[in-house]
Amino acid sequence: MGNKEFIEAFKEYKEERLISHDELLGILQEVLESTLRKKLGIERKKGKDKDPEAEQPEDNFDVIINPDNGDIEMWVYYEVVDDDAEDFNPNRQIRLSDARKIDPEAEVGDEISKEVKIEDLGRRYVMRLKQLFDSKLTEYENKQVFDFFKDRVGEIYTAEVNHVRRKAVYLIDDEGHELVLPKEEQIPSDSFRKDERVKGVIKKVEIHNNKPLVVLSRTDNNFLKKLFEQEIPEIEEGLITVNKIARIPGVKAKVAVSTFDDRIDPVGACVGIKGSRIHGIVRELRNENIDVINYTDNEELFIQRAISPAKVVKLYLYNNDKGEPEADIYVKPDDVSKAIGKKGVNVALASMITGRQLNIKRYEENAEEDIELTEFENEIAPSIIEAFRKIGLDYAKSVLEHDVDYLVRRTGLEEETVREVMDILREELYD
């Protein structure tokens, strides 16, 4: 294969793989130089075997590629030595008699240049050249794909279903790039057919088996956030901010929003007239129910909004014995099921979005039949009464409905003290 045939053979890569002329020639230059080093026995240390202080062997060749027509010139430079020189290196030296066939005036110590054609490399090296070129081109393409998607992590992306597997769905975008939607990143009710267009958020990009692996997600909170940005102009324009999201994919989500513009109702803007804006998002998420609430830095008020539709009667914030934030929320008996929600979903999401473990408690409405703990100050020390009040227990019945171990753990009081208090309260209420 001659130089011209070689160039013609590789011109197809530019058209097939959409690589620019300059990039193609750059890769070609690199692989030609690498192949020449291999043929000339120029070994270069790489990676951990490389001594940073050791000099790399010098190249004794030039590879020149004409950028206009792609013509290749390869020149190897040899030192002229005597015909009977010892330790002769044919890759770097040329005997005087051979040198004078090229230049009749050559002398020992001169440098002689000799042009090398593609066919002069030999079949083995031409094959190596092709393989290396293809490998470098694939490496280049993989890097381009990796960089393209790495810059889009967190963005919504749409691709077509190529094939469905038990553990993942594989998709192809309009440019022919493959993406994967793992089972754990799918909404439980998701079901896909070949050629169906699927929307998700790019969760991460990794290198797997030397190829970029682009992972799409439909369960990530960021997917819901990006859908809000797409459907609600005020969010995209920065007038409304999505502050927090809690989500059980395919079941329910709570989204906290706020605005700096008093003229805008952030919740109303997100929901739209008769739910017109939120409906598109709900459909995309396979009918996932979405509660939109007003965000506030006031933690107690935010918890009350998060536990909606239940109405909070009393609320106590504290850290448990492990230092973890909790809150006891008292609601009327009719609101207990609302606060907890079906299968505990409402309170679970409220806990997620507030960052506190929320404990739903029944508020005793018949307070007139109960007695406030402060009425027992003659029999119970004020500091002990305060310990109970700090955990939301203001009335005698609210103390007695708990067991001793719970009260000891929550109040930090001695077991004997707790038992004495409970005896006093029982005697007053029931004797």
- Domain-wise residue ranges, the chain: 3-46+55-145, 152-219, 222-359, 367-430
- The pLDDT of residue 11 is 58
Cα 94 to Cα 107: distance, rounded to the nearest angstrom: 11
Cα 145 to Cα 157: distance, rounded to the nearest angstrom: 14
Q: Which amino acid is at 406?
A: Y
Q: What is the CATH superfamily name and number for domain 152-219?
A: Nucleic acid-binding proteins (2.40.50.140)
- The pLDDT of residue 146 is 93
Q: Taking the complete model, does pTM exceed 0.75, yes or no?
A: no
pLDDT tens digits, one per residue of 15-32: 555 577 778 788 888 888
- Helix%, strand%, coil% for the chain, nearest 5: 45, 25, 30
Q: Determine the topology of domain 367-430 in CATH.
A: DNA polymerase; domain 1 (1.10.150)
Q: How confident is the model at residue 127 (pLDDT cuts 50, 70, 90)?
A: confident
Check: CB of residue 250 under 8 Å from CB of residue 288.
Answer: yes
- The pLDDT of residue 157 is 96
Q: Determine the topology of domain 3-46+55-145 in CATH.
A: N Utilization Substance Protein A; Chain:P; domain 4 (3.30.1480)
Q: What is the CATH superfamily name and number for domain 222-359?
A: K homology (KH) domain (3.30.300.20)
| End-to-end CA gap in the chain | 110
pLDDT above 80 (res 68): no
CA angle 218, 246, 277 (to 5 degrees): 70
24, 42, 44 from 73: Cα distances, Å? 16, 19, 23
Helices (H) and strands (E) in the chain, counts: 15, 15
Nearest Cα neighbor of 24 from 62, 70, 63, 75 is: 70
Q: How confident is the model at residue 366 (pLDDT cuts 50, 70, 90)?
A: low
pLDDT tens digits, one per residue of 153-204: 999 999 999 999 999 999 999 988 999 999 999 999 999 999 999 999 999 9
